[in-house]
Amino acid sequence: NAGVTQTPKFRILKIGQSMTLQCTQDMNHNYMYWYRQDPGMGLKLIYYSVGAGITDKGEVPNGYNVSRSTTEDFPLRLELAAPSQTSVYFCASSHIRTDPFNEKLFFGSGTQLSVL
Amino acid sequence: AQKVTQAQTEISVVEKEDVTLDCVYETRDTTYYLFWYKQPPSGELVFLIRRNSFDEQNEISGRYSWNFQKSTSSFNFTITASQVVDSAVYFCALSERDRDDKIIFGKGTRLHILP
């Protein structure tokens, strides 16, 4: 059981480049989330999804896009990378509402992104 | 709006001391959930506890205990007889189930346990 898998683990981008951070989970979770972690700033929610075909903005969505065509996958797209997007990105999933006694986030191992 | 405040940015204690990490939250909902997560130096995020707004019983799990007080909107976390392996960043989080499905995190408290 792999849980939540994020790829890549590390990436360096030049300003203006685009890339997609991949996230997949094999737990049949309805809910998926993207967070970014900046030093001293905790985790900020970028986007989240409550099921296939449904996405919504979090606290800091600007500069990002997401899609949720399947239950398993929730990729995060950076279209024009900027230095402000240098951060560690975490994908997470949860059984929320389908399993109310097990409402916790399962996190991927993170993607460290540097935009230079 | 929902908000989680962890006022302690960084704490250092000597091994075997007890330490309490504070978490204060704001919410407009009557139904909400509170969480604590641990992030050790390796970087992964580890779930510690989930508490719903209708259950104010304090919880103890080994050396860990949690004090949930709705009257002060606090959900504090105490480590008893701290160990070096407890060194990590600890995050408190809140979700408002009646309003949306976001889970919002505090900024975290970095805990150093000194040998």
pLDDT tens digits along A11-32: 999 999 999 999 999 999 888 9
Under an 8 A CB cutoff, do A35 and B50 touch? Answer: no
Per CB-CB distance under 8 Å, the chain A contacts of B25 are: none
> pLDDT confidence of B67, banded at 50, 70, 90?
very high
User: How far B63 CA lies from chain A's nearest CA (Å)?
Assistant: 21
- As a whole-number percent, the residues of chain B with pLDDT over 70 amount to 96
Structure confidence by residue, pLDDT tens digits, B6-47: 999 999 999 999 999 999 999 988 888 899 999 998 888 888
Assess whether pLDDT exceeds 90 at residue A104. no
> pLDDT confidence of A116, banded at 50, 70, 90?
very high
Q: Which string of DSSP letters, residue by residue, matches A79-114?
A: SS--GGG-EEEEEEEE-TTTSGGG--PEE---EEEE
Identify which has the larger pLDDT, B53 or B16: B16
Across the interface, of A44, A58, A107, the residue whose CB is closest to B45 is: A107
Q: What is the pLDDT, as a whole number, of residue A99?
A: 46
Q: What is the pLDDT, as a whole number, of residue B113?
A: 96
Per CB-CB distance under 8 Å, the chain A contacts of B93 are: 43
Under an 8 A CB cutoff, do A88 and B43 touch? Answer: yes
User: d(Cα B12, Cα A78) in Å, to the nearest integer?
Assistant: 38
User: d(Cα B26, Cα A100) in Å, to the nearest integer?
Assistant: 22
Mean pLDDT of A89-111: 77
Q: Which residue of A has its CA nearest to B6?
A: A42
Contact predicate B24/B9, CB 8 Å: no
